[in-house]
Amino acid sequence: MGEGIDVSVVTMLRFSSEVTMRNVFGLLAVVAVAGMAEAADWPQWRGPARDGVAQASGLPTKWPAKLKLAWRKKVGEGHSSPVVRAGRVYLMSREGGQEVARGFELASGRELWKSDYKAEYKIQSVARDHGRGPKATPVITGQRLVTFGISGILSCWESATGRRVWSHDFAGQHRETVPLYGHAASPIVVGGKVIVHVGGHDDGALTALDVASGKTVWRWAEDGPAYASPVLLTVDGKRQLVTQSQKFHLGVDPVSGEVLWRVPFTTQFDQNSVTPLVAGGRVILAGYDQPTVAWR
């Protein structure tokens, strides 16, 4: 493949569920020889545009038969994916009764910081094979890392040091504190606001908070949360947040919280868990035991 610079690529060993509940969650870095594409930042769930598309250059015409392991770290358990920015990797996981946020150097795997907080979580019997999380992927914005735990603890950290800037535990604000399988929707940042859906079944609120201060900017409290992560769509020059709640697909003005449209959509066991896809001016949606639909 010719000469070139070795480039690290980060991947994740996802949560492995067995009858014996042996949970494996590790962070790996693998490196290929010359010719590997130059990696871009991956700062949130499903990448820069939340569409699973990587903006990389210099893709090789031929891939190596085997990748070389550059480094490996044990980090606990969970479903949360790593995020990458400016040569650093950030990750959220669980160790015992605590949720843990970490920062690593991408090239070497050196742990730069580790911060944790108490996050006891009782698994519902029907969800026992799904683990204790965390499930939501962090998001990096500016010099901040925002994490959302399985029990609904939203935290903002200094990405350079791991110092917690602010944190909110939404457990006391709703009759039901978490969905059946725990919080899984990854937070999104729009215009300096981090948006998450808190609460539990039949009692929740899509909530926007100021990233800098942690103060609530707006709330939509008409349905419980889903498991799917929101995305952004621009229609006639106006951005809207496309998301799912327990019983609806909806479009929301991310600035004001105004609901622009709402379509009933229910699934068995209230498992609205598929991230919407925006393509060709259409919103493509799917659900458990439901047909795939497109709206425009």
Task: Retrieve residue 58's tokens.
Answer: 């210099």
pTM of the complete model: 0.85
What per-residue confidence (pLDDT) applies to 8? 36
pLDDT tens figures, 210-230: 999 999 999 999 999 998 999
| Mean pLDDT value of segment 233-248 | 88
Q: Which CATH class is domain 7-295?
A: mainly beta
pLDDT tens figures, 97-138: 999 999 999 999 999 999 999 998 887 766 677 778 899 999
> What is the average pLDDT value for the chain, to the nearest integer?
83
